[in-house]
A and B are shown apart, each in its own frame.
Chain A
C-alpha cells in the first residue's frame, strides 16, 4: 500500500480520487462517496432539506457540496435516493422527509413492452434536478473536486418498475421476459448516464442490485454480465459499480464486466475481496453503516478504515447511502482516519 504514496502533490481531490479509481499513485488515501452521505445534520447546516433537495437542482447541489466542504470528502455526489428514474418513469414515489428516504408505492410496468424511455425523460423534474445539480457543482469547483453522478442499472430499474418479487421469480419462470426488461431499461441507464457526463460528472456510480442476498452468481453471469459489459462500453467513463449485500461469490464476474471500481458492502470482507480482484479492479468502501457509522464511535470508524486500507482497498467510503440520522462526526472520522493512515505510512510506521 505504501508504494502508492509518491512524493508528489499535493493533488487536487479530483486527481487523487480518479488516480486511485484506476489504481494509480496518490499523495494520500482518497475518501469518496459513490452513494449518499446526506444526513439530517448536513441538511440543517446547508439549509437544504429533504424532500425538496431531491427535486430542486440548486438545493441538491448545496446539500451535496456539504460532503466536501463540511465533511472533508474528495467527492461530491448529488443523487441521494434511488428513486429519480423510477419517479420519472411513472412510479408513484413518496419523497419522504428530512429523516426519511423516498420510496415507491407502486410498480407500473406489467410487461417489458411498457418499459419505454419517454421522449422527454431528461426534462422530467427528478432527472432535471440531478443534471442541474451536477452542472452547478462542476461550476462551483471548477474541476478540482470529483463530481460523481449516479444511475440505476436495468436490474434495479426492473425491481422498481415491475416489483422485486415479480421480477425475481421471472428469472426462473420467464427468463426471456427478464432479458426484455433489461434490454429496454438499459436505455434509461445509458440516456441518464450520458446526460450526467455531459452536465459535468467526472465519474458515474452504477447501482444495480443483483446482490448475493437475492440472486445467485450464475444469475448475474447469465442475465446481467452481458448488459454490464455493454454499459461499460456505452458509457465510456470512469465507472463504479455499486451492489449492496454479500457479493463475494460474483466479484470475478464484476471484474470481467470491466468496471473500474466496485463499491462493496461490509458483508464483503475487504481482504477476501482484494484477494479475488487483485489489481484488475479498484475497491471503494470499508465502513459499515448501521452499526459503525450510525451507532459507533469515531474510534470504531478508524478501526474499519485501517482494516480496509491494510487489506489494500483503494478508496475509503461508507458502504452505501448512510442512514439519515448518522452523526456527522462519524462521517468526518472517515476522512480523518484516511489522513491518519496516510501520515503513518509516510512516516514509515506501517499504518499505525
Chain B
C-alpha cells in the first residue's frame, strides 16, 4: 500500500530517487495522482518553506527538496493532465531586464510550483515586452519579478508601465522581490505584493489570488 507519509518525508530530506520510486509505486497501486500531489508533494514543500523561514533550512536543502518534488511531479504530470485539475494560478516569473541573477527567481518558482502553481519561467534578462506577452499569450494571472541589483530595479517599474500600456495590468497580480527590493519600493512602483523570501512568495501569491 502506498505510503503518502513516506513520500512527504522523502521530499523534505531531498531524496529524489526515493520520491520517484514511491510515487511510481503509489500510482501503480492505483492511488489517485491528485491525492499524491495534494497530500504528499504540496504539504512537503509547504513544510520546506516553513523550515526555510525558521532558518532550519537554507538554499541547498530547499534545492534538493525541490528537485525531489520535481522527480515525483514528473510522474504525476501526464496522469493529472485531463483530470480537470486546475493550477492554483499561472505565474510568469523572471529576473528583470539586464539582470542575470537567477537563484532567487528559481527558488520562488520552485516554492510556487510546490504549492500547486503553474510556472512559466521566462528566465533572466527578461524585457517588459516578454512579461506582457506571457500575460497575453500564456494567460499568466500572476507576474513575479526578481532583481538583485539596484541598477536593474527600475526595470520592475518599466514592466508595470508596459503592462498598463498593453491594457493588461488589471488582469494580473504583480509580485516583486530580490535583495535590494523593499515593501516601500514595491508600493512606490505600484506592485501588488512584495515577498522578502521564497516561502513568503507563496503566501503573498495565494493571498493576492484570494486562495
Which residue of chain B is the closest to A167 with respect to CB atoms? B60
Taking CB atoms and an 8 Å cut-off, the chain A residues in 293-311 that contact chain B are: 294
Which residue of chain B is the closest to A246 with respect to CB atoms? B55
Q: When the two chains form their complex, are residues A173 and B64 in contact, meaning their CB atoms are under 8 A apart?
A: yes
Q: When the two chains form their complex, are residues A164 and B58 in contact, meaning their CB atoms are under 8 A apart?
A: no
* C-alpha spacing A165/B110, complex, angstroms: 13
Chain A contacts for B180, CB-based, 8 A: 289-290, 323
Contact with B along A91-134 (1 / 0, CB 8 A): 00000000111011100000000000000000000000000000
* C-alpha spacing A93/B204, complex, angstroms: 35
Chain B contacts for A324, CB-based, 8 A: 150-151
Q: When the two chains form their complex, are residues B58 and A216 in contact, meaning their CB atoms are under 8 A apart?
A: yes
Chain B contacts for A290, CB-based, 8 A: 150, 180, 182
* C-alpha spacing A100/B155, complex, angstroms: 13
Sample of 11 further A-B pairs with CB below 8 A, known A165-B106, A249-B55: A104-B100, A164-B103, A168-B63, A213-B59, A215-B60, A216-B58, A219-B60, A291-B182, A323-B150, A323-B151, A325-B151
Q: When the two chains form their complex, are residues B64 and A172 in contact, meaning their CB atoms are under 8 A apart?
A: yes
Chain A contacts for B102, CB-based, 8 A: 165
Number of residue pairs spanning A and B whose beta carbons lie under 8 angstroms apart: 60
The residue from A100, A171, A213, A289 contacting B60, defined by CB atoms under 8 A apart: A171
Q: When the two chains form their complex, are residues B98 and A100 in contact, meaning their CB atoms are under 8 A apart?
A: yes
Q: Is the interface of B mostly helix, strand, loop or mixed?
A: loop
Taking CB atoms and an 8 Å cut-off, the chain B residues in 90-118 that contact chain A are: 98, 100, 102-103, 106
Taking CB atoms and an 8 Å cut-off, the chain A residues in 173-218 that contact chain B are: 173, 212-216
Q: When the two chains form their complex, are residues A169 and B150 in contact, meaning their CB atoms are under 8 A apart?
A: no
Q: When the two chains form their complex, are residues A100 and B100 in contact, meaning their CB atoms are under 8 A apart?
A: no
Residues of chain A having any CB pair with chain B under 8 Å: 99-101, 103-105, 164-165, 168-169, 171-173, 212-216, 219, 244-245, 249, 289-291, 294, 323-325
Contact with A along B1-31 (1 / 0, CB 8 A): 0000000000000100000000000000000
Q: When the two chains form their complex, are residues A101 and B151 in contact, meaning their CB atoms are under 8 A apart?
A: yes
Q: Is B168 an interface residue (CB 8 A)?
A: no
Q: When the two chains form their complex, are residues B98 and A165 in contact, meaning their CB atoms are under 8 A apart?
A: no
* CB<8 Å pairs between A and B, sample of 21: A101-B149, A103-B100, A104-B100, A165-B63, A165-B103, A168-B60, A168-B103, A169-B63, A169-B64, A172-B14, A172-B63, A172-B64, A212-B58, A214-B59, A215-B60, A216-B55, A219-B58, A290-B180, A323-B150, A323-B180, A324-B151
Taking CB atoms and an 8 Å cut-off, the chain B residues in 69-107 that contact chain A are: 98, 100, 102-103, 106
B17 CB to nearest A CB, Å: 12
Chain A contacts for B64, CB-based, 8 A: 169, 172-173
Q: Is B67 an interface residue (CB 8 A)?
A: yes
Taking CB atoms and an 8 Å cut-off, the chain B residues in 147-173 that contact chain A are: 149-151
B126 CB to nearest A CB, Å: 15
The residue from B67, B151, B182, B184 contacting A99, defined by CB atoms under 8 A apart: B151
Q: Is B179 an interface residue (CB 8 A)?
A: yes
Chain A contacts for B106, CB-based, 8 A: 165
* C-alpha spacing A172/B67, complex, angstroms: 12
Taking CB atoms and an 8 Å cut-off, the chain B residues in 16-65 that contact chain A are: 55, 58-61, 63-64
B105 CB to nearest A CB, Å: 11
* C-alpha spacing A100/B147, complex, angstroms: 13
* C-alpha spacing A104/B55, complex, angstroms: 30
* C-alpha spacing A40/B30, complex, angstroms: 64
Chain B contacts for A99, CB-based, 8 A: 151
Chain A contacts for B14, CB-based, 8 A: 172
Q: When the two chains form their complex, are residues A214 and B58 in contact, meaning their CB atoms are under 8 A apart?
A: yes
Chain B contacts for A213, CB-based, 8 A: 59, 179
A122 CB to nearest B CB, Å: 28
Contact with A along B177-196 (1 / 0, CB 8 A): 00110101000000000000
Which residue of chain A is the closest to B102 with respect to CB atoms? A165
Using A103-B100, A169-B63 as known contacts, say yes or no to A215 and B58 having CB atoms under 8 A apart: yes
Q: When the two chains form their complex, are residues A172 and B150 in contact, meaning their CB atoms are under 8 A apart?
A: no
Chain B contacts for A101, CB-based, 8 A: 149, 151
A169 CB to nearest B CB, Å: 5
B65 CB to nearest A CB, Å: 10
Which residue of chain A is the closest to B59 with respect to CB atoms? A214
* C-alpha spacing A212/B55, complex, angstroms: 9
Chain A contacts for B184, CB-based, 8 A: 291
* C-alpha spacing A79/B150, complex, angstroms: 19
Q: When the two chains form their complex, are residues B179 and A100 in contact, meaning their CB atoms are under 8 A apart?
A: no
Using A100-B98, A249-B55 as known contacts, say yes or no to A169 and B60 having CB atoms under 8 A apart: yes
* C-alpha spacing A103/B102, complex, angstroms: 12
Chain B contacts for A249, CB-based, 8 A: 55
B89 CB to nearest A CB, Å: 24
